[in-house]
Chain A
């Protein structure tokens, strides 16, 4: 039920994201989704890739600082109000979101996928299952592509 996300420290300067992505490309790893958190001083590049272990080895070999975090992949209905309903359920379960971003699905299923980082992961999983929002496993997630 978990999806591994790689977080990379990037400086706030031209070409910083590209350098990291180039390393992953050379390692032959497919990037499935990403999000960039930026502050005035630095950025954190968050990536979900096909083969996180391989990408991580390549990145660290190139001197990039990498952190692994677990994010939850939640399916929501791809229609007006679908996201609002899912977030209402999260809110009612008393869960706190650290950040979220979208996972692009290529196969038509009528369902969209959100990648969510919760403040308390264990509590979140339990509450989500109870609310009928069971997170996807990594295998299930990549089937959507």
Chain B
């Protein structure tokens, strides 16, 4: 299985060497880097220092990897509360790149990279592509969005460093994507899995063959094994899942290898823990819980025990591919109710903000996610209350339009709003289940 996979000549890419470190050596590297990053975060970032002081832990208390559990967590709202640059551990003269992603409110989350951070990011993206079986000589159509989103540039710099031919086409414009796919002899593609399904559909309608396409590198939204089987059967390509998040680096935190049996975490740079989402207590290996990541080599913006809210488990035992870095199971759900739609993070609280703005009080609502023709759609069902109900069709249609506009503004995506009768949406005891995700294929 290994032979001939990584390189046309059956070679091995040197950037992937850390993937095969003997476990004992890997743990030594991790501990050394962990001590350095904790010291850096403590010395340079007020938030980390004050939290560690409150717990009475100092950087030199980290003597073993297990001591990580003594350190405080970092959560997404910490990035928002310190917006824009409050968690930076490098002076601006050393920061060479800023990216931003959607946050829980109007303000985005800003992430920073030094020259060395970009080098690490590039390296883990090279390792990602190698794991997916992409090599020098491949023509890669990069249909992740370029811009503030980390997907486009992250994949771009990794693929170039690998030596593949990169087509920086970015997202959208399906007709042009299909033309390029055919005319440029594309062998590999990067995009969200739902967008690839859409491409497949359009290619079939237009009777455009997929040409030389061999591999898909799909991430930035959750997808299932069933969807992979569907994509692979329909297109004849190999479909790989990759994992990443801007707060940690962007894409390149983990990737599936040719075995397609879990995602290898590039854990010499990103240390994974699995904790109980309720109590925060570390869980034994193999148990399902929330993935917590610590950046081991980040300079500009180290993250100590970042709560990803993604639920997964660390897969026990070695992988058939021979890599020694541990694997996580593909991520199927989250411990909070955030969801990812067309690469955009959406929180129900954003929808609530918009509903409140328009109606003055919060009506009962439900969010329904569907996948039609490979495109994710979001519908917000809003119960009509006495306060907003009008005898006039025009007034109700205006309310409907105002709701749709307000939600689109905070979420940043087109949504369908449906007015429904009162008491028709399910009520649940305790925490309301607001999101109904019907997207699995």
> Which residues does A use to contact B, with CB under 8 Å?
5, 7, 9-11, 16, 37, 39, 41-42, 44, 46, 60, 63-67, 69, 98, 117
Contacts and interface: CB of A to CB of B under 8 A. Distances in A.
Given A11-B424, A41-B400, A42-B396, A65 B418 contact: no
A98 B391 CA distance: 10
A102 to B, nearest CB: 18
Contacts of B419: 9, 11, 41-42
Interface centre among A11, A16, A66 (most CB of B within 10 A): A11
Interface of B: 384-386, 389-393, 396-397, 400, 418-424
Nearest to B416: A41
B386 A66 contact: yes
B391 A65 contact: no
A130 to B, nearest CB: 26
B391 to A, nearest CB: 4
Contacts of A117: 391
B389 A9 contact: yes
A contact face: mostly helix, strand, loop, or mixed = strand
Contact of B423 (A7, A42, A63, A66): A63
Contacts of B391: 5, 7, 44, 46, 67, 69, 117
Given A7-B391, A39-B396, A42-B396, 7 more contacts: A9-B389, A10-B421, A37-B393, A44-B391, A63-B422, A65-B421, A117-B391
Contacts of A9: 384, 389, 396, 419, 421
19 contacts: A7-B389, A9-B419, A9-B421, A11-B419, A11-B421, A11-B424, A37-B393, A39-B396, A39-B397, A44-B391, A60-B386, A64-B421, A65-B384, A65-B385, A65-B389, A65-B421, A66-B386, A67-B391, A117-B391
A42 B397 CA distance: 9
A26 to B, nearest CB: 17
Nearest to B385: A65
Contacts of A66: 386
A65 B422 contact: yes
A67 B390 contact: yes
Contacts of B386: 60, 65-67
Contacts of B390: 67
A98 B392 contact: yes
A39 to B, nearest CB: 6
Interface centre among A7, A9, A41, A69 (most CB of B within 10 A): A9
Nearest to A5: B391
Contacts of A42: 384, 396, 419
A98 B396 CA distance: 14
A16 B422 CA distance: 12
Nearest to A39: B393
B386 to A, nearest CB: 5
A124 to B, nearest CB: 15
Nearest to A63: B423
Question: Which 4 pairs between the two chains have the least Cβ-Cβ distance?
Answer: A7-B391, A63-B423, A69-B391, A65-B389
A69 B392 CA distance: 10
Contacts of B421: 9-11, 16, 63-65
A11 B420 contact: yes
Contact of A41 (B392, B418, B423, B424): B418
A62 to B, nearest CB: 9
Nearest to A10: B421
Contacts of B424: 11
A16 to B, nearest CB: 7
Contacts of B396: 9, 39, 42, 44
A41 B393 CA distance: 11
Nearest to B419: A42
B418 A67 contact: no
A67 B389 contact: yes
A97 to B, nearest CB: 12
A44 B386 CA distance: 13
Given A9-B384, A41-B400, A64 B393 contact: no
A64 B420 contact: no
